[in-house]
Each structure stands twice: as C-alpha cells, then as structure tokens.
Amino acid sequence: MGGLKTLDEWLSWQESLHTQEIDLGLQRVQTVYKKLFPKGVPFQVITVAGTNGKGSTIAFIDSIYQQSPYKVGKFTSPHLLKYNERFTINGEMLSDSVICDAFAEIERFRKEISLTYFEFSTLAALIMFSKEKADVAVLEIGLGGRLDSVNVVDPDVSIITNIAIDHTDYLGDTRELIGVEKAGIMRSHTPCICGDSNPPQSIKNHANNIGAVLTFINMPYLGKINLQGEHQKYNATLAIEAVNQLQSKLPISQNHIAQGVENASLLGRFQLKTINNKIIVLDVAHNEAAIQVLAKTLKADKVPSIAIFSALEDKNIELMINAIDPLIGEWLLVPLKVNRAISTEDLIQKFNLRNKIKVCDDMLVAIRRALNAQQYQRIVIFGSFHTVADAMKILDKF
C-alpha cells in the first residue's frame, strides 16, 4: 500500500476495502492478531463492554492510572471530532503519523484477509500501545462483546457496565440474549465485574460454565467526582474495582485512585456550556436507557428546556423520545449526514405531538433558533454521537 500517505487516505481506503460497516466475527481479525502478537500483548488489559456507561467507566480508569507511575493506553469508539481521539497514551492523543505506521504494520501481515474499519482500529491500538510500552490498556468493546474485534485479546479484568436493549439487529431483542453477547468477554479464572443492578441470568450462567470470577457491584462512589449525574458514582465504583483487581500487578495508592476519579472528564457526556446566559447540555445518549438517565439528571434542575435532536434509523426512536418528552417544551429536528441516519420525514412520524416540533435545515439553524427562543433557558442536544459532534463543531465558533 505504498500510495497511502495521510490518515484520511488510509481511512477512506479501509472503508472501501470491507464495505460492510458492521461485520461481527473474530475469524478475520484473530488471524492477523496472532501474526502480530504470537504471545499475546505485552501489557495488562481491561476490556469494557455494556450498553451504556462504557465511556465514563473507561475515563475513570484512564484518569486513575494517569495519577500513577504507569503508562496507560485507552482505546474507545466512536470519536466525536477527530479519529485520533480513539487512541490515547496517558491522556494524549496519538499522532497521525504514529497511527499510519500502525496501519502499515497491519498491511504487512494482513495479506488477502479483509478487515473492517473497526478491526483496523483495534489492531492499530494494540500495536501502538505495545510500541509506546504501555503498562496497562483499557479497551472499549465497540458492539456486543463475544464477536467484537476487541475480544481477540484475553483481558486480565473485564467489565460489563449494564445491559439494555440496543443494536437488536446484531445482539438480539431481549436482555437475556444481549447478556449472552456481553458475557462473551469473560475468561476462565479471570475477574469480571458487572454493574447491572438486575443482571440477566445469562451472564451468571456463562460465568459458571467457564469458571470466570464474577462480581456484582452496585454501590455509588462517595468521594469527590466532577462528571455530572448520579449514575457516574456507580461507574466510578466499577472503575475502582477494576483497578483494585490489578493491585497485585500494578499497585496504586488510594490517594491516586481518589485523585483520578475526581479529575476524570469526558467529551459529550452531560457536557455543559453557557452561551448568552443559556445552559447548553451536550449528551451522546442514543438509546432509551441512556436517555432515561439524561432525563433523570435534567430533572434535578427544573429549567424550561428546548431540544435539538436527531438519531440513527436502527434505534427505537419512539421510546427514546418518550423517555424525555415531558421535560422538553419544543423539539428542533436536524438532518444527519451519515448513512444510517433517519430521514427527517420519518423522524417527524415518531412524534405524537406535532405542534412541539420544528424542522431545521441544519445544525447551525437549529442552534441559532434555540439561542433566540427567549422562553427556554436550557438547550439539550442529544440523540447520537453524530448529533453532538455536529453541534460541537458549530458551538466552538460562538
């Protein structure tokens, strides 16, 4: 692949190489992984699966290890503004050239095996963390667990944050079926921590079948925390338990843990901004369970609110809307420029009360309209990573 020089060139080529955006299965990626890492990766691994709360739990773990003498790698997806956000070492994004070098390394071993965009990024993360001599890496499962490309790596600790209904086309349409997919990240004789308050039986069954060491954690963290929302206290406890499970290999003080939890921050998770005395809330909530959590956090301050909303068509959009509609005085709908986006015409059909919605040509029009709506003090922007990313690019210019 001598012709590929820039990161953008690499990424568009990857999209054309394997046209199916989501193609679950470990066979392709495992073959390449074994060639790259015949003895496995040379660092401790924490893998994190779950329907919601993965990003926050990972942010806490990452921040805790940044307080310590250890080098920590973090792999997450999707990105909001820049592809490089997916890969950090000690909180710093890796550069275009380091990422391109990792892609070139994959090419040397891939031969005729077709890999998806996400499989490339997974292998690239492992190569870069290995070259950067990371002591520990936190890896986010992109979709499900059992067949997600991150699951080629044997974790030292795994986390299942919670189980809710999402991605039903790929994972099944009940919590028990989805539990089977998430449980696939467990390993025999290896700790797995689950934060679900009402875990599906399928998770316990799988742990028993393979002899995984399963712990359920459902306690809020009582120390200082900067991420907004009651649920973040539970995510913090999960993160701390994962770090404690690795204490024998990577000892870290309670003081560093507390400092790490307090310092953790995360783009697009109840992220607040103020413009013209209006509070803007940016949240990537994109399924019913996440939007219920968003609604609960919004309810803590009774402020008249206007929403800017759009979503992907494979979501249960009616349930997403109903979970928050009582708190929203007006909805501004914006089109998304991505393949899986719902059309504005179809989105309108999902609303019961048509008098509460206005269709906007684009995000800029929606933001201007919301800022000029005198009766609303709070603007809530949510529904998809793409919705929030589009808004962030515009709000940065205000």
The pLDDT assigned to 177 comes to: 86
Question: ∠85-138-178 over CA atoms, to 5°?
Answer: 100
- The whole-angstrom separation of Cα 327 and Cα 353 is 14
pLDDT digits (tens, 9 = 90+) for 16-51: 887 776 676 789 999 999 999 999 999 999 999 998
Note the pLDDT tens digit of each residue in 331-371: 999 999 988 899 999 999 999 877 899 999 999 999 999 99
For 211-343, where are the alpha helices, taking DSSP H only?
A: 231-245, 254-263, 288-299, 317-322
Tokens at residue 199, please?
A: 């875990």
Task: Please enumerate in sequence order all residues whose Cβ is within 8 A of that of 112, keeping only pairs 6 or more positions apart, or say none.
Answer: none
Q: What is the pLDDT of residue 17?
A: 86
Count CA within 13 A, CB hemisphere, residue 398: 16
Rounded Cα distance, 62 and 60, in Å? 5
**What angle (nearest 5°) sits at the alpha carbon of residue 248, between those of residues 257 and 141?**
65
What's the confidence (pLDDT) of residue 169? 59
CATH numbers and ranges of domains, the chain: 7-263 (3.40.1190.10), 271-395 (3.90.190.20)
Helices (H) and strands (E) in the chain, counts: 15, 14
Q: Which parts of the chain have pLDDT scores under 70?
A: 1-2, 21-22, 24, 165-173
**Mean pLDDT, all residues of the chain:** 93
pLDDT of residue 106: 97
Alpha-carbon gap, residue 385 to 374, rounded angstroms: 27
